[in-house]
Amino acid sequence: MKLILFDLDDTLFDFSSTWNVVMKKMFAEHEVTKEYDNEVFFTAFQKKSDELYYLYEQRICTVEAYRNRRLIETLADHQYTMSEDEADAFNLQYIQQYANSLAPDSHVLELLMKLKERYKLGIITNGPHDMQEGKIMRLGLKELFPPEQVWISNVVGIAKPDPRIYQLALDYFNVLPEDTLFVGDNWEADVAGPLQIGMKAVWLNKYGKTAPASDKKPLAIVSQLHELIPYLN
């Protein structure tokens, strides 16, 4: 193994729990959304967020328009008409609160520093550049992953599991797929995609999900990031 590529969200930090905490706090405190049951509204918003994500993922609209639309449409379902300006203000506050909630994880940093002694390291992540770059900075990852070793789908115009985004990293590091390991939590993006082009993969399955039926098998399935160590050569 010469190169280890990592996903970011729910791999190098716990995106899901942070998202839940920050969004619920926002909804509980905002002058409009605080009028609704917090759990019910959050569930509806999460559903709308998932339903509309294709608009951003397929570059039909900007990330800012996507964020506004999921909020405006959720509120419309709750009989409130929110303006674009109100949605802009909400989402600016959300980005600030989300960034402020992040802090480096000493265990993750220690693991990565040890790996960096033996392997080349990179990040391939789907998501908006403003959020992903901010996360890398706030999590203390920038020194381990300088900008040229990070590929963000919104920046490069290709998203996992498109094989071209993995190839960008392989070309940069001048490493063959068979000498590369991908580590991440999403089966399609972080396991099936890398395996398809000849990489090895470790599936970080924190929540005990069932693996999809596939003839492609990861090198390992782990529940914690540090558990990948025994599978490295």
The domain spans of the chain are 3-13+103-231, 15-101
State the fold for domain 15-101. DNA polymerase; domain 1 (1.10.150)
Q: How confident is the model at residue 186 (pLDDT cuts 50, 70, 90)?
A: very high
Of 3, 36, 10, 1, give the one whose Cα is nearest residue 209: 10
pLDDT at 212: 86
Residue found under tokens 């959050």: 42
Residue pair 108/225 in contact by the 8 Å Cβ criterion = yes
Q: How confident is the model at residue 21 (pLDDT cuts 50, 70, 90)?
A: very high
Q: Residue 16 is encoded by which pair of tokens?
A: 């899901």
Q: How confident is the model at residue 141 (pLDDT cuts 50, 70, 90)?
A: very high
Residue range 87-139, pLDDT digits in tens: 999 999 998 898 889 999 999 999 999 999 999 999 999 988 778 888 999 99
Per the prediction, the chain carries an average pLDDT of 93
> Which has more pLDDT, 127 or 140?
140
Q: How confident is the model at residue 80 (pLDDT cuts 50, 70, 90)?
A: very high
State the fold for domain 3-13+103-231. Rossmann fold (3.40.50)
Amino acid identity, position 52 = L
Residue pair 133/152 in contact by the 8 Å Cβ criterion = yes
pLDDT at 183: 98
Of 75, 83, 6, 87, give the one whose Cα is nearest residue 40: 75
Residue pair 233/219 in contact by the 8 Å Cβ criterion = no
Element (H, E) at 151: strand 150-152
